[in-house]
Amino acid sequence: MTSKTTASLMAICIACATAAVGQTAIAQTTSEQPPAQAGAGAAAAVSGDAQQQPAETAPAADAPAAEEAPAVQEAGGKLVLPNGQDITPDHMENGRWYTAEDIPTFKIAEDGTLDYAAFSGYRRYSAECHVCHGPDGEGSTYAPALKNSVLKLDYYEFQEIVASGKQEVNTAANLVMPAFGTNKNVWCYVDDIYVYLLARGAGDLPRGRPAKKESKSDDFAAQEDSCMNG
Ligand code: HEC
């Protein structure tokens, strides 16, 4: 996160439009894009299943900045992340898939059908994270590509950052990752967002709105209800 100062500063200038006036000289020295086509993500927020993907996320093949090395390795019949975390789906609980170590994970059927929790994560990501982190976990000039972050952070580190936030110190740009621990629209779905990003990072899920998904199970609905209304 070091060399991003200028780009980030500019990103903030654009986000705040009016603040940009005094910063024109800086802004003009870079050719970076503004963060995450900010308006699109914000506007797309919490609508339901009918939510539209912003147009610019349309087809686009896989990430240009993609990994040279395979993101996920197979070892002894298991799928393992570069950070050593096993992501092989093992059992279901409350309508969500978990690994043998009870870490949330995703499952994509052979015909491409995505499990419901990961689909839920896609929706929540698009509503709450997209605005800064870019469409489909791809990142922006303002905030990192979370589809890559989940390959290096482990599940608990991810949770901790989403709960408590993070602030880049030591820069005039003042990058801020907000704390979401008290925001139920995020916190009740944090595992869903995590597994959606895992599916993206593992390279198993194409960009855009997942085409085929499982329907919501009663278990999932009950758990969701008790979290949102509890
Ligand atoms: C207001 C903009 C903003 C929003 C909204 C936002 N983030 Fe962030 N996030 C950031 C910035 C900026 C950073 C980098 C902060 C730093 O490095 O200090 C970051 C960093 C992170 C990181 C650490 C990534 C890494 O590789 O170290 C995670 C994980 C993360 N965000 C998850 C989320 C999730 C999940 C959501 C949606 C629920 C979200 N963020 C919404 C701005 C945002």
- Which tens digit of pLDDT belongs to each residue from 149-181? 999 999 999 999 999 999 877 666 678 999 999
Q: Tell me the two tokens of residue 140.
A: 């922006």
Domain that holds residue 114: 37-48+70-229
Per the domain annotation, does 210 fall within a domain? yes
Give domain status of residue 99, yes or no.
Answer: yes
In a domain, 7, yes or no: no
Residue 96 near residue 227 (C-beta atoms within 8 A): no
Residue of the nearest CA to atom 24 in ligand 1? 149
Domain count for the chain: 1
C-alpha to C-alpha distances, 144 to 79, 132, 133, 138, nearest whole angstrom: 24, 9, 6, 8
Q: What is the pTM of this model?
A: 0.75
Helices (H) and strands (E) counted in the chain, each on its own, are: 10, 7
Q: DSSP of 64-79, one letter per residue?
A: TT--SS-SSEEETTEE
129 lines ligand 1 (CB under 6 A): yes
Distance of alpha carbon 155 from alpha carbon 221, whole angstroms: 23
Any domain includes 184: yes
Asked if residue 160 is part of any domain, the answer here is yes
Give the range with max mean pLDDT: 24-33, 38-47, 161-170.
161-170
In a domain, 19, yes or no: no
Contact 148, 201 (CB under 8 A): yes
128-156 pLDDT, tens per residue? 999 999 999 999 999 999 999 999 999 99
Q: Give nearest CA residue, ligand 1 atom 41.
A: 129
Query: Is 18 inside a domain boundary?
Result: no
- Residue with the nearest Cα to atom 21 of ligand 1? 177
Atom of ligand 1 nearest to the CA of 193: 35
75 Cα–ligand 1 center, Å = 31
Of 169, 168, 186, 185, the C-alpha closest to 177 is 168
192 located within any domain: yes
- AA letter at 43: A
Going from the Cα of 121 to the center of ligand 1, the distance in angstroms, rounded, reads 15
CA of 193 to the centre of ligand 1 (A): 12
